[in-house]
């Protein structure tokens, strides 16, 4: 009989302690200040223009590209 009373008392203490912890958690959540939303001001980013900017060519610019010499298609063929 004494052992049964001890088990019941321990169970009651655990239940009361769990109830208190749940109550204090809810109580702290209600009293905690809610965070205020922070407004971030966005600055506009300069966008590239859709038309290309044309710079005037300098007078010293000369074309340096020359066409490549290619082999003709028949020069590699072997005649039999």
The pLDDT value recorded for residue 1 is 72
Q: Give the pLDDT confidence score for residue 69 in this predicted structure.
A: 73
Give φ, ψ of 36 to 5 degrees: -85, 140
Using CA atoms, how far apart are residues 12 and 18, in angstroms rounded to an integer?
10
pLDDT recorded at residue 47: 73
Residue 26 counted as domain residue:
yes
pLDDT in tens, the chain (80 residues): 799 999 999 999 999 999 999 999 988 877 766 667 777 777 777 777 677 666 665 556 566 667 677 766 555 555 55
Q: In angstroms, rounded to a whole number, what is the distance separating the alpha carbons of residues 18 and 10?
A: 12
45 found inside a domain: no
- Taken in order 7, 8, 9, 15, the sign of the CA dihedral is positive
- Domain hosting residue 9, numbered range: 1-32
20 in a structural domain: yes
Is residue 12, in this structure, part of any structural domain at all?
yes
């Amino acid at each position: 009989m004494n052992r049964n009373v001890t088990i019941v008392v321990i169970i009651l203490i655990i239940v009361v302690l769990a109830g208190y912890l749940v109550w204090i958690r809810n109580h702290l959540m209600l009293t905690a200040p809610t965070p205020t939303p922070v407004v971030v001001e966005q600055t506009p980013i300069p966008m590239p223009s859709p038309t290309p900017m044309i710079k005037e060519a300098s007078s010293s610019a000369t074309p340096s590209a020359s066409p490549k010499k290619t082999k003709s298609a028949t020069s590699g063929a072997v005649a039999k």
